[in-house]
C-alpha cells in the first residue's frame, strides 16, 4: 500500500493526491457545535423526582388542564412564507408546529414564519436552522445554529432568548435580526428596542440602530451604531478581536478620537473590555462625551465598579440598566 494512503504527511502519491483535491471540497464545513438544549434528566434525578411528578400530575388533573395549555404543549405555529421549510423531515406547508426539541430547517429557496407563543413572530430566512429549546410561561428559547432570523417581540424583557454558537441574545422588548454563519460568526442588528448579547459574563447591550458581532470562544464584540464610518468599524473590530493590545493601540486611538457624542454607548462598553493600562484613556474619552454622573468617580470607573458603571450607563440617556440586573438575578442563566 502507498505510504501516502496511510499517512498524508508521507511522500505524495499523485493519483491519491488528485482524488483528495477532488474530494476535499466535500469535507465537513461546520466548525461549531450546536447549542445544547436544556440538560437531560439524569436517572437519579428522575428516580427522586418521579413521585413528585406524580403528585404534580394528579394536581393538574384535579384542577383540569385548560385548552390553552394543551395547545401550548403542541408547540409553536409555523407557516411557510416560500419554498419548502421542514420541521424534522415534515414539510411545513401552509401550517405546522414546532415542538420543544424540534428543528426547523430552510433551504436556499424557503422561508418560514413562527408564532412565538402569544408574544411575537420570528421570520426564518433562507439556509437557516433553528431549534426550539424551551417554551413555557415567561420563558421561550430558540437556538439559531446557522442562518438568519428576524424577531419581532412584544413581551416583558427576557421572555424571549435566542442562543447562537457564540452568544445568547436576550430580547428586551424589540425587533432585531440575527445572523450566524457556518463558522459560528454572528451579527446582531437591532431595529427597535434593546437586545442584550451575552457569552460567559461578557455582556453587550445593543440599542436600536446599532449592531454587534460575535465570535466563537470570544463572545460578543463592542456594539456600534450602524451609521459609524467604515474606519471606525474596522478599528473597533481590531480592538475587539485583534489580540495583542500593543498592536491594536492605533485602532483604539482612532476609536477614542473619532467617537461622536452618541458613540458614548460604544465607549461605555470599551471601559470594561480594554486592559487596565488603557482603561484610563477610554474613561477620559467617555467622560468627554458624557460627563460622569454625580457620585461616580474616576477611580470607581477604573476599578470597574458595577454600580458606578451602571449609573454612568443611565446617564447616557438610553435606558435604565437596573431592570436588566434585576431581571438577571430573577432568572439566572
Partner 1 sequence: MKAVPSFVEQVLAFPRLRPALKSGGAAEEAAPRPGGASGLAATIRAAADGDQDAFGRLYADHVRLVHAILLGRVPRADVDDLAQDVFLTAYSRLDALRDPSAFGSWIGAIARNRATDFLRQRRPQVELPDELPGGDAIAAESLAVLDAIRRLPEAYRDTLLLRLVEGMSGNEIAERTGLTSASVRVNLHRGMKLLREKLELP
Binding residues for partner 1 (CB under 8 A)? 1, 5-9, 15-16, 19-20, 22-40, 42-43, 89, 103, 105, 107-109, 129, 131, 145, 148, 177, 179, 181-187, 189, 211, 213, 215-217, 226-227, 229, 237, 241
Q: What is the smallest separation between the CB atom of 8 and partner 1, expressed in angstroms?
A: 6
Cβ at position 15, least distance to partner 1 in Å:
7
Beta carbons within 8 Å of 104's beta carbon, 6+ residues apart: 78, 85, 86, 87, 92, 98, 112, 114, 124, 128, 129, 130, 131, 132
Query: In terms of CB distance, is 73 or 109 closer to partner 1?
Result: 109
Name the 3-class secondary structure at 238. helix
**Of residues 189 and 308, the one with the C-beta less far from partner 1:** 189
Complex with partner 1: residue 246 or 276, whichever CB lies closer: 246
Cell of 94: 401552509
Question: How many Cβ atoms sit within 10 Å of the Cβ of residue 318?
Answer: 17
Neighbours of 76 (CB within 10 A): 23
Q: Strand 194-199 and strand 202-207: pairing? A: antiparallel
Least distance (Å) between residue 31 CB and partner 1: 4
Q: Which is nearer to partner 1, 37 or 156 (CB)?
A: 37
Residue 177 CB, nearest approach to partner 1 (Å) = 6
8 Å CB contact between 123 and 129: no
Least separation, in Å, of the C-beta of 295 and partner 1?
39
Return d(Cα 57, Cα 31) in angstroms, integer: 42
Report yes or no: 4 and 10 within 8 Å, Cβ to Cβ: yes
CB nearer to partner 1: pick between 16 and 56: 16
Which letter, b or e, does each residue of 151-188 get, where b requires 16 or more Cβ atoms within 10 Å of its Cβ? bbbbbebbbbbbbbbbbbbbbbbbbbbbbbeeebbbbb
Cβ 12 to partner 1 shortest distance, Å? 13
Residue closer to partner 1, measured from CB, 198 or 300: 198
Amino acid at each position: 500500500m502507498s505510504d501516502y494512503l496511510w499517512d498524508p504527511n508521507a511522500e505524495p502519491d499523485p493519483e491519491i493526491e488528485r482524488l483528495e483535491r477532488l474530494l476535499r471540497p466535500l469535507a465537513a464545513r461546520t466548525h461549531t457545535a450546536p447549542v445544547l438544549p436544556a440538560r437531560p434528566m439524569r436517572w437519579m434525578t428522575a428516580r427522586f423526582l418521579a413521585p413528585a411528578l406524580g403528585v404534580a400530575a394528579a394536581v393538574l388533573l384535579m384542577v383540569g388542564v385548560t385548552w390553552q395549555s394543551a395547545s401550548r404543549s403542541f408547540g409553536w405555529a409555523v407557516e411557510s412564507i416560500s419554498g419548502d421549510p421542514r420541521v424534522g423531515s415534515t414539510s411545513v406547508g401552509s401550517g405546522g408546529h414546532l415542538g420543544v426539541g424540534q428543528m426547523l430547517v430552510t433551504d436556499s429557496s424557503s422561508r418560514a414564519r413562527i408564532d412565538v407563543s402569544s408574544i411575537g413572530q420570528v421570520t426564518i430566512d433562507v439556509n437557516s436552522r433553528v431549534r426550539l429549546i424551551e417554551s413555557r410561561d415567561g420563558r421561550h428559547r430558540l437556538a439559531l445554529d446557522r442562518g438568519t432570523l428576524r424577531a419581532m417581540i412584544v413581551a416583558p424583557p427576557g421572555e424571549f432568548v435566542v442562543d447562537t454558537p457564540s452568544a445568547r441574545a436576550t430580547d428586551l422588548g424589540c425587533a432585531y435580526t440575527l445572523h450566524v454563519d457556518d463558522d459560528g460568526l454572528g451579527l446582531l442588528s437591532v431595529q427597535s428596542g434593546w437586545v442584550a448579547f451575552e457569552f460567559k459574563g461578557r455582556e453587550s447591550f445593543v440599542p436600536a440602530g446599532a449592531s454587534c458581532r460575535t465570535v466563537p470562544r470570544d463572545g460578543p464584540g463592542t456594539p456600534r451604531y450602524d451609521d459609524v464610518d467604515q474606519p471606525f468599524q474596522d478599528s473597533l473590530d481590531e480592538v475587539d478581536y485583534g489580540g495583542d493590545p500593543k498592536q491594536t493601540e492605533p485602532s483604539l486611538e482612532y476609536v477614542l478620537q473619532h467617537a461622536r457624542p452618541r458613540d458614548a454607548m460604544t465607549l461605555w462598553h470599551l471601559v470594561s473590555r480594554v486592559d487596565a493600562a488603557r482603561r484610563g484613556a477610554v474613561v477620559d474619552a467617555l467622560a468627554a462625551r458624557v460627563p460622569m454622573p454625580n457620585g461616580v468617580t474616576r477611580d470607581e470607573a477604573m476599578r470597574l465598579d458595577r454600580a458606578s458603571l451602571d449609573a454612568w450607563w443611565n446617564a447616557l440617556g438610553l435606558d435604565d440598566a437596573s431592570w436588566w440586573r434585576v431581571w438577571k438575578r430573577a432568572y439566572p442563566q
